[in-house]
């Protein structure tokens, strides 16, 4: 494969390192039935009634519109809110919807029936950077010869020297592999501005100016963007589907 210059946006558009969900969140929703021939709908409870426990919501009549619902029995509803809700229905169940982000798209993960169950799901799915994070072992076929020579020379001659480029290299002699510790992940503009004071474009240029081959810079960026903390290049490892492969 011939190396072609790609922008970070082009690289990140379809990232094979991405696994699981980011920015997991929980939203309490009401499952509402209304007219006999209409399917149920889901609405969030209005902020003025957000303090109500689940048992004060389920099986209670409600008013609702396209954006929110209000319990109408035993609760005071100001006239201005009453006028905003033209529909009436019955709350059949309280749902805790878990959503997450994948490749910058919001996706529905699942529905749970208590806050505790939803929180447990989020805890199981969430990666916690610095506590336990993603690690990948991929084939050296994902790097051209120039990049492999760079890695081999660095770990052979500069074992005690740091790159200072938000990645550090180490050797794995038993498997002929080379490891890379990625620092400050994910390499999003938002996170890098917070920890380094610069956007990713500045880090990328700094890496290139230091002599890091562009193909290696691209792979490290994709891995770091997916919050990978350890990346190992091994000639005997499997190739990663969707990641560029270079000819021998």
Name the residue range of residue 63's domain. Answer: 22-126
Report how many domains make up the chain: 2
How many Cα neighbours within 13 Å face the side chain of 22?
Answer: 16
Whether residue 78 has pLDDT greater than 60 = yes
**3-state DSSP assignment of residue 148:** helix
| Same domain assignment for residues 113 and 64 | yes
Whether residue 202 has pLDDT greater than 90 = yes
Name the residue among 147, 39, 164 with its Cα closest to residue 89. 39
| Same domain assignment for residues 31 and 120 | yes
Whether residue 145 has pLDDT greater than 90 = yes
Instruction: Please state, in angstroms and rounded to a whole number, the distance separating the CA atoms of residues 83 and 155.
Output: 70
| Same domain assignment for residues 29 and 115 | yes
Residue with the two structure tokens 């996170």: 191
Whether residue 3 has pLDDT greater than 60 = no
| Same domain assignment for residues 149 and 108 | no
Contact indicator for 92, 28 with CB cutoff of 8 Å: no
| Same domain assignment for residues 53 and 98 | yes
**pLDDT score, position 134:** 83
Q: What does pTM read for this prediction?
A: 0.68
Residue 155's pLDDT band (boundaries 50, 70, 90)? confident
Is the residue at 65 inside a domain?
yes
At residue 147, what are phi and psi to the nearest 5 degrees? -70, -40
* Strand-pair category, 134-139 with 228-234: parallel
Is the residue at 242 inside a domain?
no
């Amino acid at each position: 494969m011939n190396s072609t210059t790609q922008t970070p946006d082009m690289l990140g558009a379809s990232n094979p390192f991405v696994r699981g969900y980011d920015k997991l969140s929980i939203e309490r929703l009401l499952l509402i039935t209304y007219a006999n021939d209409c399917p149920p709908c889901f609405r969030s409870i209005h902020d003025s009634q957000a303090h109500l426990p689940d048992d004060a919501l389920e099986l209670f009549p409600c008013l609702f519109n396209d954006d929110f619902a209000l319990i109408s029995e035993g609760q005071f509803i100001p006239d201005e809110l009453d006028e905003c809700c033209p529909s009436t229905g019955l709350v059949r169940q309280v749902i805790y919807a878990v959503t997450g982000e994948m490749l910058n798209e919001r996706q529905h993960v699942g529905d749970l029936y208590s806050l505790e169950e939803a929180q447990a799901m989020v805890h199981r799915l969430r990666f916690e950077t610095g506590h336990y994070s993603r690690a990948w072992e991929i084939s050296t076929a994902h790097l051209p010869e120039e990049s492999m020579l760079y890695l081999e020379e660095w770990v052979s001659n500069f074992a005690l020297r740091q790159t200072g480029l938000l990645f550090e290299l180490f050797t794995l002699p038993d498997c002929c592999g080379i490891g890379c510790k990625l620092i400050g992940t994910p390499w999003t503009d938002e996170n890098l501005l917070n920890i380094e004071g610069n956007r990713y474009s500045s880090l990328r240029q700094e890496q290139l100016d230091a002599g890091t081959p562009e193909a290696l810079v691209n792979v490290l960026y994709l891995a770091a963007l997916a919050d990978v903390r350890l990346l190992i290049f091994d000639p005997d490892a499997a190739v990663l589907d969707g990641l560029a492969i270079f000819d021998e």
